[in-house]
Amino acid sequence: MSKRVSNAVRYKNPLPIHPLELPELIIHNPVSWVYWTYCYITGCNTLQHKIHVDIVNNGIVHIEVRNQDDMKYLWENGFFGTGQLSRSEPTWYNHMQSRFQSEENGTADKKISLEQVTKFRRQQRTEFKKQRELVEAKLLNLRKKGELSPEEETRILEQEREKLRKFKDDQLALHLLKENRNDNLEEQERLLIQEAEVINENGEIRQLESLELMPVETLFLSFALDVLDVTPSDFIIKHCMDNSFDYTDELHKLLIQYSAYHHYRSHGWCVRSGIKFGSDYILYKRGPPFQHADFCVMVLDSNCSKPYTWYSTMARVCGGANKTLLLCYVERINSKEQILQYIRQGHISKAFNSFTVGEVIYKRWVPGKNRD
């Protein structure tokens, strides 16, 4: 219970801009009117200071937030950005610290981070695959010798299968053990710490992680919410157009990607990168800590037609992850020149006004399961 409540408190606000919290207005109490008005006038939705972003452009644009508090703030208020050394929430520093501390105290920390669990699972999986490959190679060898009848082969197959199954069971048992005591992992981690020189002269852990924002997130935070210290037109012109004044494919892609991003964000979705599922975005109803994402979004030009295999593979991947594939078609209504002019004059909102979105759901349909 406590965890859920703490999540609800921690992620109370869905956007970095918070609504004003005004005192209660009591009709028959004029003092409350005065106080209310005072609060209304002095209150303001904007942040105390704008969040600083570092933009590195060496061929690929990296937008980084390095201030620890800002990183935390952007994550907690709308789940913006991804920690470069973590899965998504920038938790690397905390993990390191707790690991470091537990090492110093000599007490084994029982908590393992999610990242470690995944890492461990993947290791086990590769080991299993190696074993399976060995079995396959062995069988092929026997086949090639030609001394094997199909019946014999089935018998050997059965044997090998049993072995593999046992191997897997052992792995699982091992995994359960590991969760209680993970000496081996700890050892590796210690080595890693020394290698990476994450500790400064004073024996403290250095914060190596920063929060990386997608270009569309940067644009949303600067243009729609105005919480970053870059202006949207600067950002577009400097970093996405390379100061050239052509309507490039790159610019077009940014514009349609942003149109889709803004569309979903502004209707309340928590939009995050969908690269895990090969899509442009995934949509969370509230955010990653609360529930799984329900939708994968692919942003397409409205006159785009891909080969069929593209659609079917996308649908397979999304279906396998229990998500619905949404094709978001963005249509440009104004001419390219017009849009360029808007951007140059700084009328970003007019530029984005030149796009409309239409949506289509693509889903595999199985006749046998839709018969009655």
Partner 1 sequence: MSTATNQDTDLNLDEDEVIQDWSDISKIQNDNPILSIPKRGEKDYEPDGTDIQELLLYRAKKAMFDTLENSVRGSTSKSQVKGYYIPDKHIAMVPYAKGNFVQSMGETDKDGTLWLHFFEFLYLAERGTITPFWKAYGNNVELPLSIEDLYSYFKTQKEMDNFSIYAHLKRLGFIVRSSDQYIITKNNTSFYPPMNFKSYTIGSMRNIINRISSTFTYTGISLFNGIIFSQWHFYLRRYRSSPDIYESLNKLISYHKIPHSITDLRHEYSSLKRSTSNSTPTSLHITFNIWKPNPTFKKKYPELPDYQVVTYNKNMTNQSFPTFNELEALFRSLDYKFNFIEHSSNTDFWNKNTYNNGVLREDILNDLTNNARNKNKQPKIVTKKPTENKNKKPGKELPPHIQQLKRLKNGYRSFLLAIMDNGIVSFAKISEADFGSENVWYVPPPKGTIGRPNKNWRKTNKSKDNHRKEKEQSEIK
Q: Which C-beta is closer to partner 1: that of 26 or that of 43?
A: 43
Contact 15, 267 (CB under 8 A): no
Give the single-character DSSP code of 240.
I
Q: Which C-beta is closer to partner 1: that of 28 or that of 371?
A: 371
Active-site residue identified among 49, 175, 292, 306:
292
Q: Which of these, 121, 97, 123, 120, lies nearest to 109 by C-alpha position?
A: 97
According to the binding rule CB under 8 A, does residue 59 interact with partner 1? Answer: no
Q: Which listed residue (13, 98, 184, 244) binds partner 1 by CB under 8 A? A: 13
- Class of residue 103 by CB neighbours under 10 A (exposed 0-12, middle 13-18, buried 19+): middle
Contact 71, 90 (CB under 8 A): yes
CA distances to 109, 252, 335, 343 from 338, in Å = 60, 13, 5, 9
Give the shortest CB-166-to-partner 1 separation in angstroms. 17
> Residue 245 carries which side chain, given as an amino acid letter?
F
Q: Which C-beta is closer to partner 1: that of 33 or that of 43?
A: 43
Strand partners, 299: 328
Q: Which of these, 157, 164, 154, lies nearest to 130 by C-alpha position?
A: 164
According to the binding rule CB under 8 A, does residue 309 interact with partner 1? Answer: yes
Q: Which listed residue (29, 37, 46, 188) binds partner 1 by CB under 8 A? A: 46
Which stretch, 51-59, 63-71, 176-184, 258-266, contacts partner 1 (CB under 8 A)?
A: 258-266
According to the binding rule CB under 8 A, does residue 43 interact with partner 1? Answer: yes
Q: Where are the alpha helices (DSSP H) in 267-335?
A: 308-320
For residues 338-367, b (16+ Cβ closer than 10 Å) or e, as one string? ebbebbeeeebeebbebbebeeeebeeeee
Give the single-character DSSP code of 50.
P
According to the binding rule CB under 8 A, does residue 362 interact with partner 1? Answer: yes
- Is residue 238 annotated as a catalytic residue, yes or no? no
According to the binding rule CB under 8 A, does residue 27 interact with partner 1? Answer: no
Q: Which C-beta is closer to partner 1: that of 100 or that of 217?
A: 217
Residues 145-204 that bind partner 1 (CB under 8 A): 146, 148, 150, 153-154, 157
- Is residue 284 annotated as a catalytic residue, yes or no? yes
According to the binding rule CB under 8 A, does residue 120 interact with partner 1? Answer: no
According to the binding rule CB under 8 A, does residue 35 interact with partner 1? Answer: no
- Is residue 11 annotated as a catalytic residue, yes or no? no
According to the binding rule CB under 8 A, does residue 335 interact with partner 1? Answer: no
According to the binding rule CB under 8 A, does residue 285 interact with partner 1? Answer: yes
Contact 292, 330 (CB under 8 A): no
Give the shortest CB-116-to-partner 1 separation in angstroms. 15
Active site residues: 284, 292, 323
